[in-house]
A and B are shown apart, each in its own frame.
Chain A
Amino acid sequence: MKNKPNQITIIYMLIALFTAIVFHKISLQQSSITNYPLYSFLKDVALVLFTGIVYRFILSKNENQNKAVLEKLLKTNNEIKESNEKYDIVAKATSDTIWDWKIQEDKLYWNKGIKGIFGYNEEEVGDSSKWWFDNIHPEDSIKMSIKLYSFIEQKTENWQDEYRFKCADNSYKYVLDRGFLLKDEDGKAIRMIGAIQDITKQKEEELRLKLLETVIVQTKDSIIITEADFNENRLPKIVYVNPAFSVMTGYESYEIIGKSPDILKGPNSDINGVKKIVDAIKNKEESLIEMISYKKNKEEFWLRFSMIPIYNSDNELSHWVSIQRDVSDEKKQEKEKEQLIRELTKNNKDLKEFSYITSHNLRAPISNLTGLLNLIEDITIEDPELKEILFGFNKSTHLLNDTVNDLTKVMIIKDNPSIQKEALLLKEVFENVFSQLSFQIEAYKPILKIDFENVTVLNVNKTYIESILLNLLTNSIKYRSESRTLKITVTASQLNDSITLVFKDNGIGIDLERNRDKVFGLYQRFHDYPDSKGLGLYLVKSQVEAMGGNISIDSEVNKGTTFTLIFKNK
């Protein structure tokens, strides 16, 4: 292009020279012509015209050529522009960061992604490979550079690597970097172009999944994953088993994947268990099953396993997950426990029968003794010694009778955990109890303070509540203080379904510091009184508890005792 004007000028001069020579030759031949000045003028005009035409022809030809070149240039330019736009759009769409490295000059150019993804401003971005390498996580940089240089030196077609790249805020992003090498005619690498993809999310998810996977791999529970549907008429095919499964059953995963869990079944497997599995699969329902199963070596064991249906994102059943455990030991213990309970129940029943019979056999002669003593009462006895002997005989017999009766009562209460309850008027219950004690009340004239507030009805067993109140009242009278008038306060209050009865006296009290654990015990006596047997409070507690209530005590020596009884009015 540069030489075109010279070229045109030379061509023009050659043609003009040639024409001038031709005209010169003609003028030599025509020298005889007289009108020479005219001729010379015509000759010059002809020369100018001819060379002008030729010149014009050359110029117009050149012009056309230029036009074509320009058009071509424009077209190429447009194509490049379009291509650049496309490239930008693609880079944007993939959110890749593109880099372009002129290896010899060590110039590295980054596209906009370096700002968008890693947060670097233009002035922060270095223009050599050093900046690139400096921002690679120290743990990754050696491995990465070895791979990269071996790629540049060897002549593999492409390269890709994963590493952590530092962002402007000093955090690291996981990236996938893929590069292509451009070579010159000698096959020498001169340029490398790469695209960096941010895979932090995938990587983190991968790490999270790896962590979750360790649960499945490390757990001592065996885990099976199967397909969703039956394998013809067998259970769904196994797609995964964890190591614990292999430990439990002896089947390695390669032996069992693709097979059905039917392989664990054996002659003693419960047919109902199998039915339960089939039903669960048919109904797509979670299930928990226990059945005898078989290891690879045919050894029997008790397998407890859950079946959990797994749905995919389209809400279609995709798999079953089964978590399993060898419960043979538990089963054995359960069996032993059942056996033990059976034996204990039988022993208990035998003992109960034994105690009823013993009690009956004791009571029969005692009742005879009592009856006989009743007869003696009507006979006048003169001999003072015989009288004394009979008196002792009488007293001992009655004591024996009372003891056997009390023990019998306890036995019946303990044996009858569910007793009949009825709604009783609190006022009537107390009237009844007081009338039974009228003799003692008359004798000791205690101050009775009774306040039932708005509680009127108590839902209890009549015999028990009377026995309880009778016991507590006689205790108050029996263990009254000699130095002050006996005062008994009974209050009742209700909170929701609970009725609280507080029974308070100002008697001699019990030393709870020493005796708290024993207060309600059997045959526990705290005062050396002749007619105390240590049974009353034991009986009271048994009866309160038999009715579903509870009783507590508060007492101070020489101040008095308070019993708090709580019943549920249901």
Chain B
Amino acid sequence: MLDLILCVDDDPITLMLCKKVIGKTLFSNEIITAQNGEKALNYFDAIKNSDIDKSDNKLPQLIFLDLNMPVMGGWEFLERFSSSEYSDFSEIKVVILSSTIDPEDLEKAKKYPMVIDFLSKPITLSMLDYLTVKMQPKVV
């Protein structure tokens, strides 16, 4: 079971669904959300710049990331988040959760090592089971 996951999506219903579905399982203790890439980066910036000891700060272990979002989309977020600026968070895994069907997006996702999977919406219980199995060795 994960401690904390971050869902980045501009659609409140998707976020609501994420919370509800994950809430039904033992996938994660806590869920936080961000409406777009920039808001997500702000969250990590706050952690990086805070004087508070890191153990008190909640660091997500997994990010569910949408691609099409206003202000800052998923790709730009990935670009920034994988740069040296955020190297402190290189342990964090990303799962792209999108309704895109563009095959180019699938290819593009492979360029980011932190992206462990590319899944189609909506989030389901079986998807979470699958991810649990997939992440097992890394979580432990």
Q: Which residue of chain B is the closest to A367 with respect to CB atoms?
A: B121
User: Which residues of chain B come closer than 8 Å to A372, judged between CB atoms?
Assistant: 13, 17
3 shortest A-B CB distances, which residue pairs? A371-B122, A367-B121, A363-B99
Asked whether A374 lies within 8 Å of B101 as measured between CB atoms, the reply is: no
Q: How far is the CB of B137 from chain A (nearest CB, A)?
A: 27
* Minimal Cβ-Cβ distance residue in A for B125: A374
Question: How long is the Cα–Cα vector from A10 to B21 in the complex, in angstroms?
Answer: 173
A360, B100: Cβ atoms under 8 Å? Answer: yes
Residues on B with beta carbons closer than 8 Å to the beta carbon of A370: 122
Whole-angstrom distance from the CB of B128 to the nearest CB of chain A?
A: 12
A390 contacts B by Cβ under 8 Å: no
CA distance A368 to B11 in the complex (A): 9
Whether the pair A375, B20 counts as a contact (CB closer than 8 A) is yes
CB-nearest residue of chain B to A412: B103
Decide yes or no whether A408 CB sits under 8 A from chain B: yes
Does A93 touch B at the CB level, under 8 Å? Answer: no
Quick check: is B68 within 8 A (CB to CB) of the other chain?
Answer: yes
Contact (Cβ within 8 A) A356 B17: no
CB of B103 within 8 A of CB of A415, answer: yes
B31 near A: Cβ within 8 Å?
no
Nearest B residue to A378 by beta-carbon distance? B24
Q: Does B29 contact A (CB under 8 A)?
A: no
- Considering the chains assembled together, what is the distance between the CA atoms of A408 and B100 in angstroms? 10
Chain A interface size band reads: 10 to 19
Q: Are the CB atoms of A360 and B68 closer together than 8 Å?
A: yes
Answer whether A408 and B120 are a contact pair too, CB < 8 Å, given A360-B68, A368-B14, A375-B17. Answer: no
**CB-CB nearest in chain B for A357:** B68
CB distance from A461 to the nearest CB of B (A): 13
Using a CB-CB cutoff of 8 Å, which residues 4-25 of chain B contact chain A?
11, 13-14, 17, 20-21, 24
CB under 8 Å from chain B, chain A span 320-369: 356, 359-360, 363-364, 366-368
Say what secondary structure dominates the interface of chain B. Answer: loop
Contact A411 B21 (CB under 8 A): no
Scan residues 62-117 of chain B and give those whose CB is less than 8 A from a CB of chain A. 68, 98-103
Q: Given the interface contacts A360-B68, A363-B121, A364-B121, does A371 sit within 8 Å of B21 by beta carbon?
A: yes
Contacts of B122 in A (CB 8 A): 367-368, 370-371, 374
Question: How many Å from the CB of A370 to the closest CB on chain B?
Answer: 5
Binding site for A on B (CB under 8 A): 11, 13-14, 17, 20-21, 24, 68, 98-103, 120-125
CB distance from B14 to the nearest CB of A (A): 6
Nearest residue (CB) in B for A371 is B122
Measured in the bound complex, the distance between the Cα atoms of B87 and A424 in whole Å is 42
From B13, B17, B101, A359 is in contact (CB under 8 Å) with: B101
B21 with A364: CB separation less than 8 A: no
Q: Which residues of A contact B14 (CB under 8 A)?
A: 364, 367-368, 371
User: Which of A366, A368, A372, A378 gathers the greatest number of chain B CB atoms within 10 Å?
Assistant: A368
Contact of B17 among A366, A371, A408, A412 (CB under 8 A): A371
A363 interface neighbour in B24, B101, B125, Cβ under 8 Å: B101
Q: Can you identify 13 A-B contacts, CB atoms within 8 angstroms?
A: A356-B102, A360-B68, A360-B102, A363-B101, A363-B121, A364-B121, A367-B120, A371-B121, A371-B124, A374-B124, A374-B125, A411-B101, A416-B103
Given the complex, which residues of A lie within 8 Å of B20, measured CB to CB? 375
Q: Tell me the chain A residues, 390-423 only, with Cβ under 8 Å from chain B.
A: 408, 411-412, 415-416
CB atoms of B100 and A356 under 8 A apart: yes
Contact of A408 (CB < 8 Å), options: B101, B123, B125: B101
Q: How far is the CA of A363 from the CA of B99 in the complex (A)?
A: 6
Collect the chain B residues with CB atoms within 8 Å of residue A416's CB. Answer: 103
- CB < 8 Å neighbour of B99 from A360, A374, A411, A415: A360
Separation of A356 and B102 alpha carbons in the complex (Å) = 6
Knowing A360-B68, A374-B124, the reply to whether A367 touches B99 (Cβ < 8 A) is yes
Contact partner of A364 among B99, B102, B125, CB < 8 A? B99
Most buried by B among A367, A368, A415, A416: A367
Measured CA separation A415–B99 after assembly (Å): 18
Shortest CB–CB separation between residue A531 and chain B, in angstroms?
22
Q: What A residues does B11 contact at CB under 8 A?
A: 364, 368
What is the CB-to-nearest-CB distance from A293 to chain B, in angstroms, rounded to a whole number? 46
Residue of B nearest to A419 (CB): B103
The smallest C-beta distance from B108 to any residue of chain A, in angstroms, reads 13
Q: How far is the CA of A412 from the CA of B124 in the complex (A)?
A: 24
